[in-house]
Amino acid sequence: MSKHHINVTINGKAHEADVESRLLLVHFLRENLNMTGTHIGCDTTSCGACTVQLKGKPVKSCTVLAVQADGMEVKTVEGLAANGKLHPIQEGFHEKHGLQCGFCTPGMMMTTSAFLEQNSHPTEDEIRHAISGNLCRCTGYMNIVKAVQYAADKMAEKVEA
Amino acid sequence: MIPPSFDYVAPKTLSEAVAALGQHENAKILAGGQSLIPLMRFRLASPEVLIDLNRVEGLSYIDEKGGWLKIGSMTRESDIEHSELVSERYSLLADTAKVISDPIVRNMGTVGGNLANGDPGNDHPATMLAYGAEVVAVGPNGERVIPITSFFRGLYESDLAPNEILTEVRIPASKPRSGGAYLKLERKVGDFATAAVAAQVELDEQENFTSVGIGLTNVGLTAIKATEAEDFLKGKAASDENIRQAARLAAEAAQPIADVRGSEDYKRSLVKTYTTRALRMAVQRAKGG
């Protein structure tokens, strides 16, 4: 059926493609662009492993059509690190052991990144609320919360310095 | 999982969207897509054409005017959740927006989609029943205002004609000495309610109920307006005894079925408990507490 020509800016880089209407954003990222940092978990809009930012807001990319992203900015986990250095959020997950298998991590980090833009000094309760759409099935949330807290502190330091 | 093939159009204006809807049989409106896209992936819905409202201008707003709180149908749940106007003056709506699915889904999900989908597990229907809201639909012959009490026709069925688009929901503007609350039991964040209760009340100076709205979520084929409980309270004192009696009547109005979330008896009992608590909280808020 219908094909659509789309222009999507992903992590600051422009991409053009002809896509079918039914292509999901997550498949566009993983299969058309080979950007496999974004994971597919439940495929039922539940787990949040596929979370990316669309116009700065976290969305589940298994529940957005690629064609819906036409003309928009998408940010994925591949866009976090810069100049060969981990982003403070990635550093936090590393330092605080915020992952075990790592499957939920890209989604957790993309949610965290949008959340810390809105709330640079979150309480534990606010962090838990913010990541409540992302499921972790192994590490548990204790260390993920610590990782987010670490990132918040580190990013605040940078701003204040 | 990949949905079956379909055509996709993204109109820029409402009149283009209405025209597109009229041109195609088996077309569906794509709002937030957080229910529709999963349904399509499971092949439970196979529309031939999706008409995407996300690029239509002017359907996302929260305005208080002319005695109503007017909310554009494409307003995201997260925008309602974070609206100062809503959290200051519309506590029932604020409570509701906070517990719809999860925070990520709320960035896409819309109030119009939540209502038009006609899913008894959605949260806005009960809330809008409690508020006595109205829904605005636009079709080829213009605009039509539908009282919320005649909007929900059955499971996944609304009063919208196949060629109409829901454009706005209107809640009566907040009055002095009014308040509301939404209480939902969910097994986990993102699950549909085991049961939930919406309550909206208005008190007079002697603290008698002058107006009461009670809506029940996910205990029937549609959201249920607990009219007997509402009628019982009207004109009566906002006492705990009266609230408890109304809660018993609300539980009788529920028509739950047993499923993985619990037995019929359990859900009915939950409706009673949550109606009691939601009414108490609504009264407290109406008194300014």
Q: Is there a single domain that holds both residue A44 and residue A105?
A: no
A161: pLDDT strictly greater than 70: no
Q: Is there a single domain that holds both residue A74 and residue A111?
A: no
pLDDT band at A1 (very low <50, low <70, confident <90, very high): low
**Rounded alpha-carbon distances, angstroms, from residue B117 to A145, B166, B186:** 35, 11, 20
Which residues of chain A are within 8 Å of residue B40 when distances are taken between CB atoms? 22
Subunit contact B108:A67, Cβ cutoff 8 A: no
Of A31, A56, A79, which one is at a domain's C-terminal end?
A79
The pLDDT of residue B2 is 87
The pLDDT of residue B1 is 78
Q: How far apart are the first and last CA of chain B?
A: 49
- Which value does ipTM take for this structure? 0.96
Rounded CA-CA distance A5/B40 in Å is 22
Rounded CA-CA distance A147/A153 in Å is 10
Identify from A1, A19, A22, A55 which residue to disrupt to test chain B contact, counting B C-beta atoms within 10 A and taking the largest count.
A22
Residue A107 half-sphere exposure toward CB, CA atoms < 13 A: 28
Q: Is there a single domain that holds both residue A70 and residue A108?
A: no
Rounded CA-CA distance A113/B253 in Å is 45
Are A110 and A77 contacting, i.e. CB atoms less than 8 angstroms apart?
Answer: yes
Q: Is there a single domain that holds both residue A71 and residue A123?
A: no
Give A73-111 as a DSSP string: EEE-GGGT-BTTB--HHHHHHHHTT--SS-SSHHHHHHH
Domains of chain B, with CATH numbers?
A: 7-52 (3.30.43.10), 62-172 (3.30.465.10), 178-286 (3.30.390.50)
What is the percent of chain A where pLDDT is above 70? 99
pLDDT band at A157 (very low <50, low <70, confident <90, very high): confident
CATH code at position A96: 1.10.150.120
Name the token pair of A97: 């052991």
> Which residue has tokens 């965290």?
A112
**Rounded alpha-carbon distances, angstroms, from residue B211 to A41, B91, B131, B229, B237:** 47, 16, 10, 12, 12
Rounded CA-CA distance B166/B113 in Å is 8
CATH code at position A58: 3.10.20.30
Q: Which of B214, B219, B215, B224 is nearest to B194 (CA)?
A: B219
Subunit contact A132:B103, Cβ cutoff 8 A: yes
Of A22, A53, A79, which one is at a domain's C-terminal end?
A79
Q: Is there a single domain that holds both residue A99 and residue A75?
A: no
Residue A137 DSSP class: S
Q: Is there a single domain that holds both residue A139 and residue A72?
A: no
Of A55, A79, A103, which one is at a domain's C-terminal end?
A79
Q: Is there a single domain that holds both residue A97 and residue A66?
A: no
Rounded CA-CA distance B69/B171 in Å is 5
The count of domains in chain A is: 2
Residue A85: exposed, middle, or buried by beta-carbon count in 10 A (0-12, 13-18, 19+)?
exposed
* Mean pLDDT of each 10-residue bin along chain B, 289 residues long: 93 98 95 97 95 98 97 98 97 98 98 97 98 98 97 97 97 97 96 98 97 98 98 98 98 97 98 98 93
Rounded CA-CA distance B76/B103 in Å is 11
Identify from A26, A65, A125, A141 which residue to disrupt to test chain B contact, counting B C-beta atoms within 10 A and taking the largest count.
A65
Q: Is there a single domain that holds both residue A154 and residue A99?
A: yes
Q: Is there a single domain that holds both residue A112 and residue A153?
A: yes
Q: Which domain holds residue A9?
A: 3-79
